């Protein structure tokens, strides 16, 4: 029997490409499977970017939903509420797809379920309406998902409120981790009285899915996989990563200029500083980074942007650049470092990490950035900012030894108040640590990089997990 799955990625080219990469691997793993991606338009762009997605093929197709009138959209609308507003469009698309599948000339063919990306959980209601199994594509890691379920269980079964750990030195036992985690490294949403109820509702919703695809590798998270296989009233988990987007970077002149500069640098001599699509800093913090880089003496490629107000972060609006670097950086810094450093606004991150010149990566510990860094065997220095990045930083530094530390409990999302300044001394120590040749961190990163590549090969752990997922989808239809 041939089957069809509907995927609903979150809006934005990165989300669509990542989800399409998963869909491509799934259809390649089993010729009985077809996938239709139902694409919500990017709210901040009126430009048609569908040509930038992986190409459609006979068993991997796109259904592009209509863009709304940007002139009437609320600029303060949150990312999640924007996604919710597309529920009627998703419902119509699923209805049409179900009808098309049932009348397809290649029948017997059935719509076997809906796979929602982690920010599209409201669409699980639509799966219920159509009597279809719902699955989740969780773009973060299995350990963080295990943490979510654990704190929900503590709340529901023991009436324990994790927000009470805010500002405490308590360490929490988490079954998905091999060591206790300090409360200071928990995500802000778990420590915020305002946001924690949303996380509880989300965890409850996820428990009701038929299975969860995770962008991770079994060899990197054995404790988390043990937790999910231990009868904890959690759905089956499939570690199918690393799912990486190698095509996000355009071939424009800015990218070529950056890569030409890297080509001129010695092997493993450059430290790369980049803090994700939402990462930015104040003028004062930028000066501390500059002082640290100059003191370290290392060559550097620095993606520098101005911090966005918290309300902009919540709407998903990216930060902008500084208008005059000479005004905000130490006097003479640009002249003194002209031969060893390069400051940019936008960074073609994948292409940069692939360059032989890169010796270390100062990162916000976003999960995609971690996966990309490990894939290319680049050691990290952890400087988290928001979301679950403090948790990721703890795991990379303390649990796995895959990163040096700048400050693993730093946060700048303002959900818990104003952040502190990270000093030049802390930054310099982290930069020197990540650039140390022959370090244990560098050795561990190279070993994990090898495991990442093997996992996706035929017979590897991630390849086997994909095949198991398709088998379970077929079983769940009966």
CA distance 214 to 252: 32
Averages of pLDDT over runs of 10 residues in the chain (478 residues) are 93 85 91 94 67 72 83 71 94 94 72 94 94 96 97 96 93 96 95 93 94 97 94 90 76 89 98 88 95 98 84 59 90 96 94 97 96 98 94 98 96 73 97 96 98 96 95 90
How many C-beta atoms lie closer than 10 Å to residue 475's C-beta?
9
Query: Torsion-angle region of residue 275: left (phi > 0), alpha (psi -120 to 50) or beta?
Result: alpha
Contact (CB, 8 A) for 436 and 405: no
**Coil/strand/helix, residue 341:** strand
In 147-269, beta strands by DSSP E: 171-172, 181-182, 211-214, 237-239
- Separation CA 223–CA 239 (nearest Å): 13
List the Cα angle 357/319/262 in 5-degree steps. 10
Q: What is the pLDDT of residue 320?
A: 75
**CB atoms near residue 50 (< 10 Å):** 13
Q: What gap in Å lies between CA 290 and CA 300, rounded to an integer?
A: 10
**Angle at CA 460, nearest 5°, toward 237 and 60?**
70
d(CA 38, CA 40): 7
Other CB atoms within a 10 A radius of the CB of residue 89 amount to 16
Reduce the DSSP state of residue 26 to 3 states and report it: helix
Neighbours of 312 (CB within 10 A): 17
Q: How far apart are CA 360 and CA 373, in angstroms?
A: 9
pLDDT of residue 226: 95
pLDDT at 143: 98
Count of residues making up the chain = 478
User: Strands 181-182 and 171-172: what pairing?
Assistant: antiparallel
Token output for 72: 């009437």
Distance CA 235, CA 253 (A): 46
Q: Which domains does the chain have, with CATH numbers?
A: 2-245+456-476 (3.40.50.2000), 253-452 (3.40.50.2000)
Cross-strand bridge partners of residue 361: 272, 380
Question: What pTM value is reported for the model?
Answer: 0.92
Q: pLDDT value at position 296?
A: 97
227's CB contacts (< 8 A; 6+ apart) are 146, 175, 176, 234
State residue 57 phi and psi, 5-degree precision. -150, -175
């Amino acid at each position: 029997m041939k089957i069809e799955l509907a995927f609903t990625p979150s809006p934005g080219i990165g989300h669509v490409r990542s989800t399409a990469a998963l869909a491509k691997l799934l259809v390649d793993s089993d010729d009985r499977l077809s996938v239709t991606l139902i694409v919500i338009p990017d709210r901040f762009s009126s430009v048609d970017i569908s040509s930038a997605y992986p190409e459609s093929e006979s068993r991997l197709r796109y259904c592009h939903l209509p863009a709304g009138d940007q002139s009437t959209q609320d600029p303060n609308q949150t990312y999640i509420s924007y996604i919710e507003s597309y529920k009627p469009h998703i419902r119509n698309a699923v209805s049409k797809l179900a009808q098309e599948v049932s009348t397809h000339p290649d029948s017997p063919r059935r719509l076997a379920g809906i796979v929602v990306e982690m920010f599209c959980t409201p669409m699980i209601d639509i799966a219920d309406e159509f009597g279809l199994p719902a699955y989740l594509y969780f773009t973060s890691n299995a350990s963080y998902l295990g943490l979510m379920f654990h704190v929900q269980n503590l709340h529901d079964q023991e009436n324990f409120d994790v927000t009470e750990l805010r500002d405490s030195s308590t360490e929490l036992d988490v079954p998905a981790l091999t060591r206790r985690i300090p409360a200071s490294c928990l995500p802000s949403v778990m420590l915020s009285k305002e946001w924690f109820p949303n996380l509880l509702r989300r965890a409850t919703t996820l428990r009701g899915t038929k299975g969860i695809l995770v962008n991770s590798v079994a060899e990197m998270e054995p404790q988390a996989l043990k937790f999910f296989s231990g009868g904890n009233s959690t759905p089956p988990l499939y570690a199918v990563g690393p799912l990486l987007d190698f095509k996000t970077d355009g071939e424009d002149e800015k990218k070529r200029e950056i890569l030409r500069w890297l080509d001129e640098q010695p092997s493993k001599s450059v430290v790369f500083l980049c803090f994700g699509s939402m990462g930015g800093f104040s003028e004062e913090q930028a000066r501390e980074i500059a002082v640290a880089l100059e003191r370290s003496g290392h060559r550097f490629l620095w993606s520098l942007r101005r911090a966005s107000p918290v309300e902009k972060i919540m709407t998903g609006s990216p930060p902008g650049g500084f208008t005059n670097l000479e005004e905000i950086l130490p006097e003479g810094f640009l002249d003194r470092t002209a031969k060893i450093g390069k400051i940019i606004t936008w960074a073609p991150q994948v292409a940069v990490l692939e360059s032989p010149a890169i010796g270390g990566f100062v990162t916000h510990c976003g999960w995609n950035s971690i996966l990309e860094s490990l894939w290319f065997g680049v050691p990290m220095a952890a400087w988290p900012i928001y979301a679950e990045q403090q948790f990721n930083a703890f795991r990379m530094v303390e649990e796995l030894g895959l990163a040096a530390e700048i400050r693993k409990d730093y946060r700048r999302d303002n959900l818990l108040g104003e952040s502190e300044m990270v000093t030049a001394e802390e930054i310099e120590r982290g930069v020197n640590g990540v650039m140390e040749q022959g370090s244990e961190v560098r050795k561990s990163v190279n070993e994990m990089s090898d495991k990442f590549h093997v996992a996706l090969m035929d017979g590897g752990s991630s390849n086997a997990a994909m095949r198991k997922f398709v088998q379970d989808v077929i079983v769940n239809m009966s």
